[in-house]
Amino acid sequence: MMQVPPLPDTTYWSGHKVLALAEQYENEGFVAESYELYRRVAHLVATTLPVDRAASLLGQMMASGAVGAAEEIFHEMVETCGPHPSSTAYAASALMTAGVADLAYYFLDAVLAKYQTSEGELESLAAYLNAGRRSELAVYAFTAAARNKPVATVLRYSALLRKRGHSNSAVGLLVSVAAGRPDEAAPLLLALRRAGRDREVEPVLTGLAATGDAACAALLDALSEQGAEEDIKVLIRLYSVRPFGSIASIAAAVRSMDVARLLVPALLGCSEEEQTAYFLSEQAELSAAQRGRLAALLVSAAPADCPDALLAWYAGWADPAGLVWLVEQLTDSGVPLEPVLAATARRRDFEPLREALHRLGNHQLAYRLAGLRSEFGL
């Protein structure tokens, strides 16, 4: 077994001498040690080694877990490109060839944000990437560049992609921007309509409807604040195909109660089996405020349509006032109280709950629950 040579103190060495030693170590099989030496001269790696070689080295470092060394070389490669679209295209393509596609996209993000900000540079970069048969990177370059641009520029970039035959990517660009900047979603959709591009509105909304629950809630809030009622209705319709737990999370997170109420039909439209499974699983462990809102939404809208599992779940944690409200809602609607009373009587905090009900003047309910608890042998 070959003995690993110690790493020398290279503080006073020339960079080229350190680079030469790194290549020697790598050739002799001392890979981890070579990566540390490459890290010490990351600038030279990015400026003197062929781009293909530097990209390949990055790929090897990432695969072996030498993330720190890879990050320093990656940073230097970004710095080296500067405002030169041809260099950017070459480096991004090399990273793709090296099998580190994620780094290729991150590379475009970094360079475009720092250096290549004009539309002319973006067009040149896309042309170079397309010439190198990297159309996926060319499309992504437009998306990355659009993230912090005004709405008018975003629309122009999407139009360019559509003109080049990338219709899906044009929509994807708009979705990416609107999802990342929900406060500008309504202006973006309005700008599409004013530009005579109405047919793109629903595809964009469809793309936005596929984002995460928190993003969906934020989007609904933003559209509500800007009075985009028609767009909200489209999104509500699109959300109706999501699983019950997802719709529940959106309804619990959205700030506007009026918008939350619009989600009730979608929630109650899910199968009773799906609703029951949700309320009996750990997924239902929302915050107290979220749980209260969700239960209040469903019970106040259609108490007779709520599954027993929901009612029992609510009764199992609601505060005394909430429990009284629930019983009143169900009584007024003629809904049997057995599931609610049984769940309440089994609560661990029954004694404080019973005392609180007496303080609220609900003596009959308190006595009834105490009798049930006795029947259960608790």
Query: What does the block give as tokens for 96?
Result: 């793709």
Phi and psi (nearest 5°) for 263?
A: -85, -10
Query: What does the block give as tokens for 305?
Result: 């349509």
Q: Do the domain assignments include residue 150?
A: no
Q: Do the domain assignments include residue 263?
A: no
Note if the pTM is more than 0.85: no
Contact 171, 201 (CB under 8 A): no
Collapsing DSSP states into helix, strand and coil, what is residue 355? Answer: helix
Q: Do the domain assignments include residue 60?
A: yes
The C-alpha atoms of residue 306 and residue 315 are separated, in whole angstroms, by 13
Give the dihedral of Cα atoms 180, 186, 192, 193; nearest 10 deg: 160
The alpha helices in 133-254, defined as continuous H runs, are: 135-146, 151-163, 167-180, 185-194, 201-208, 213-225, 229-239, 244-253
Average pLDDT (207-236) is: 91
Q: Do the domain assignments include residue 3?
A: yes
The C-alpha atoms of residue 202 and residue 217 are separated, in whole angstroms, by 18
pLDDT of residue 284: 63
The C-alpha atoms of residue 96 and residue 30 are separated, in whole angstroms, by 26
Q: Do the domain assignments include residue 312?
A: no
292, with CB counted inside 10 A (0-12, 13-18, 19+), is middle
Q: Name residues whose C-beta falls within 8 Å of residue 197's C-beta, 6 or more positions apart in sequence.
A: 155
29, with CB counted inside 10 A (0-12, 13-18, 19+), is exposed
pLDDT of residue 283: 61
Q: Tally the domains of the chain.
A: 1
pLDDT of residue 117: 64
Q: Do the domain assignments include residue 350?
A: no
Range of the domain at 56: 1-141
Contact 199, 236 (CB under 8 A): no
pLDDT of residue 116: 58
Average pLDDT (234-252) is: 91
Q: Do the domain assignments include residue 85?
A: yes
Q: Which residue in 298, 289, 359 sits closest to 317, CA to CA?
A: 289
- The 8-class DSSP code of residue 8 comes to P
Q: Do the domain assignments include residue 370?
A: no
Residue 112 belongs to domain with CATH number? 1.25.40
- The 8-class DSSP code of residue 5 comes to P
pLDDT tens-digit map of 277-336: 887 776 666 777 777 788 888 888 888 888 888 888 888 888 888 888 888 888 888 888
